[in-house]
Amino acid sequence: MAGEKETAEAIVSDLQKKITEAFDVFDHENNQTVDVREIGTIIRSLGCCPTEGELHDMLAEVEEEEPTGYIRFEKFLPMMTKVLLERRYRPIPEDVLLRAFEVLDESKKGYLTKDELVKYMSEEGEPFTQEETEEMISAAVDPDRNVVLYKDYISAMIIED
């Protein structure tokens, strides 16, 4: 039992060191705070894959009563530790991602046109900013055919990761 407890403590302490390192990268003022707009990058870099909506809920949990635009480390650490221990917001497996592209490819062509992708990403769901859309297009669109061969795209992206 004692051994198990020790291991659990070691896991928590290891997680917390990781969280601290990630937080520190964005703590520009070195005062244990980060800009609220950068919290998404920190959370995702720690291996969590929430939607924007879920991210919003996580933020609400750690924000001050009077929002200051900054998140304090002492509030962020326990929330993040809990999320990681409970293994919430797991990354999306390759096959699930592929199925999502197939849903958008209504006529089962095996590809999406550039316009289709732009329309879905910038108008539906949790819309991309223009910058996000352009960035995605630059890697996703096959320059010769001007379409998104999503199967190839996904496998390329998974390897990169």
Residue with smaller CB distance to other proteins, 33 or 62: 33
| Cα dist from 28 to 31, 33, 35, 79, whole Å | 8, 8, 9, 21
Contact call for residues 142 and 112 (beta carbons, < 8 A): no
Which one of 5, 30, 87, 107 is in contact with other proteins (CB under 8 A)?
Answer: 30
Show the tokens assigned to 161: 């990761």
Show the tokens assigned to 78: 């326990």
Bridge partners for 66 per DSSP: none
24 contacts other proteins (rule: CB under 8 A) = yes
DSSP element (H, E) containing 123: helix 114-123
Per CB under 8 A, which region of 56-64, 65-73, 75-83, 98-106 contacts other proteins?
98-106
Minimal distance, residue 155 CB to other proteins, in Å: 14
161 contacts other proteins (rule: CB under 8 A) = yes
- ∠ CA 109-113-119 to the nearest 5 degrees? 125
Residue with smaller CB distance to other proteins, 65 or 107: 107
Cα(69)–Cα(67) distance, rounded to whole angstroms? 6
Which one of 67, 69, 91, 110 is in contact with other proteins (CB under 8 A)?
Answer: 91
Residues in 101-140 that interact with other proteins by CB under 8 A = 101, 103-104, 106, 120-121, 124-128, 132, 135-136, 138-139
Cα(9)–Cα(67) distance, rounded to whole angstroms? 33
Binding residues vs other proteins (CB under 8 A): 14, 17-18, 21-22, 24-26, 28-31, 40-45, 48-52, 91-92, 96-97, 99-101, 103-104, 106, 120-121, 124-128, 132, 135-136, 138-139, 157, 160-161
